[in-house]
Structure 1
């Protein structure tokens, strides 16, 4: 691991440090199922992450939480569309509910991660994190599973599928990154 130190030229140091930080993120993201998505989501935060695996995981969870909230708002907007069938309203409502639960699980995970660094029960806390974030992944897949055997407009289905697939990839990456905390 390289250490970034102050030199006479702050601009050179910043570029060197940023390069080191981005290398750390790239290396961590290469252990995930979706490394391009991981790196794309986390590299803009390189100066905050530095080479800290806790910060990396915290920001990965924060990015996932923000994307989940945006998906929730998108799904809520879909529920207000005119001309929805009864089954479409139910599916969208169920999806909004599972997405809301995912938000709660991610918020709980962020709080637990913040306590983790100094914990005497690190293995238990990491296990809890994995359980909660796995529940988020289940919520995301449950949302799209409701489409099976139901007549749902293509635009509604595509919007939800696209959002949930992206969230599932971000969430999967979080789970992979947690291995850095062991």
Structure 2
């Protein structure tokens, strides 16, 4: 396994593991019952996506959803705690009713897809019962491949400084 830099941009690191590239760029984010979003699909451009909108419409919620989506992957890193969904992430409508559940579905450009979900008002909620629910197994395998340190690739927290920075930025303040 070896690290390869894509062009001159050190932020776009690709890894070659067992003769195929693992690209961790996000392709699509689907939100259901998450904060201000009843349902939303955000498709990201391959090279750069910029979120521009008035205050209070959900830009930070999209970034927090990404932090939650990648939270499981980040917990595979030494001394890093990933962000997990909170009770306050579940959408509450104008009448004060909570959504039945909250779901964040994430797809990468390499085809890996996974979900994070939490129960809202639905007492008998089981994430596995959601249509197309894909759990964390694929992203956990990807994280283990990337961060295991096997082969010639040696994990260095500095190499993944952006992930460490994002984990710090998106952490929830202690109560």
Same fold (TM over 0.5): no
Write 1 or 2 for the structure with the bigger share of strand: 2
Write 1 or 2 for the structure with the bigger share of helix: 1
TM-score after normalising by structure 1: 0.31
With a CA cutoff of 8 Å and minimum separation of 6, indicate the structure with the bigger relative contact order.
1
| Structure with bigger gyration radius | 1
TM-score after normalising by structure 2: 0.32
